[in-house]
Amino acid sequence: MNLIKSEFRKLVYPRSFYGYLAGAVFIALISSIPAAFSVNSLKSRLDGTSLMDPQLVAGIYGKAISGYLFVMILGIAIIGNEYQNGQAISTFLATPKRIKVLYAKLVIAAGAGVFLMVVSTLLGFIGAYFGLHHYPHAKTSPTVFLNLMIAAIVSGAVIAVMGVSIGALIRNMKIAQAGSIIWLSIVEKLIVVFWASGGKYLPSGLILGMMNININLKSTQKLFSISTSDYFQPAVCIVLLLVYAAIFAAVGSWVSLRRDID
């Protein structure tokens, strides 16, 4: 518990944590609210699909989960700051059994990731709700909210753990964060959109799969939608994401235990 308390303080004392939270909320809001307006205005081009379609409405609510990018950045910072500031020395002097430190970091990162995702997804969902409330016909199933929150919780914990592990592997925090942003926001998105059979195995594809939203649009319109018809079932997605977390945590631990502290 001592280490958890110490790691919790490392998380909440610096202002940057609140910056990551604000970033996650911001990206959730700018993903969900404009989607509500733009999809409705595009309905004439959506091959007959409109906000009458509950799945399309669900897709708009699904945009609220976009904050996981900041969870990854936070996860990397949780361990990257140790090396960047030279804090690793005082940390490992206080607790030379490094595996304990890493476990505490993983626990705190997972908790912080869940917190960021629940708050940002909830606010993104509310934003989408207000964006859609002008359209009385925009109805969807109540399970969308439930699926979305489950996806937020699981993805928050898993992405944060992956972030910590990436931070342990790549000592230069800025390179690790920039690389992760490019991977998650560009490379994975492109793979998920244009190569679903491969994309469904990636974290972004698994997060989409957890939302269990099925929309069938023409390929030219896919950029406006979230469709999980090609993806795994939510339970499979959760298991695979947890496998990702376990693999990343194991690799991160292995590297941290063997590294000399400069």
Partner 1 sequence: MAIIEFKGLTKAYKDVIAVKDLTASIEAGRITGFLGPNGAGKSTALRCLLSLATPTSGSALIRGAGYAELENPMKEVGAVIESGGFNQSLSGLKNLKIIAASAGIPDHRALEVLELVDLMDARNKRVKQYSLGMKQRLSLATALLGEPEILILDEPANGLDPIGIAWLREFLKKLARNGHSILISSHQLAEMQNTVDDVLIIHKGRLITQGTMSDVVGTGTLEEAFIRLVEATS
By CB under 8 A, residue 172 contacts partner 1: no
Tell the smallest beta-carbon distance from residue 134 to partner 1 (Å): 43
**Percentage helix, strand, coil for the chain under 3-state DSSP, each rounded to 5:** 80, 0, 20
Q: Which of 22, 42, 45, 86 touches partner 1 (CB under 8 A)?
A: 86
* Token pair belonging to 132: 């859609």
Taking alpha carbons only, the member of 54, 52, 34 closest to residue 43 is 52
Taking the C-alpha atoms of residue 76 and residue 172, their distance in angstroms, rounded to an integer, is: 10
Please identify, using beta-carbon distances, which residue of 15 and 136 lies nearer to partner 1. Answer: 15
Tell the smallest beta-carbon distance from residue 11 to partner 1 (Å): 10
Tell the smallest beta-carbon distance from residue 94 to partner 1 (Å): 4
Query: Any idea which residue has 């390179």 for tokens?
Result: 175
CB within 8 Å of 222: residues ≥ 6 apart: 193
By CB under 8 A, residue 223 contacts partner 1: no
Tell the smallest beta-carbon distance from residue 74 to partner 1 (Å): 15
By CB under 8 A, residue 96 contacts partner 1: yes
Q: Which of 40, 55, 66, 91 touches partner 1 (CB under 8 A)?
A: 91
Tell the smallest beta-carbon distance from residue 63 to partner 1 (Å): 33
DSSP code, position 195: -
Answer yes or no: are the C-beta atoms of 223 and 56 closer than 8 Å: no
By CB under 8 A, residue 19 contacts partner 1: no
Q: Which of 42, 89, 146, 246 touches partner 1 (CB under 8 A)?
A: 89
Q: How many CB atoms lie within 10 A of CB 19?
A: 14
Taking the C-alpha atoms of residue 225 and residue 113, their distance in angstroms, rounded to an integer, is: 25
Q: How many residues bind partner 1 (CB under 8 A)?
A: 27
Report the C-alpha dihedral over residues 163, 166, 170, 172, rounded to 10 degrees: -10
By CB under 8 A, residue 22 contacts partner 1: no
Tell the smallest beta-carbon distance from residue 104 to partner 1 (Å): 9
List of residues contacting partner 1 (CB under 8 A): 2-3, 5-6, 9-10, 13-16, 81, 85-97, 258, 260-261
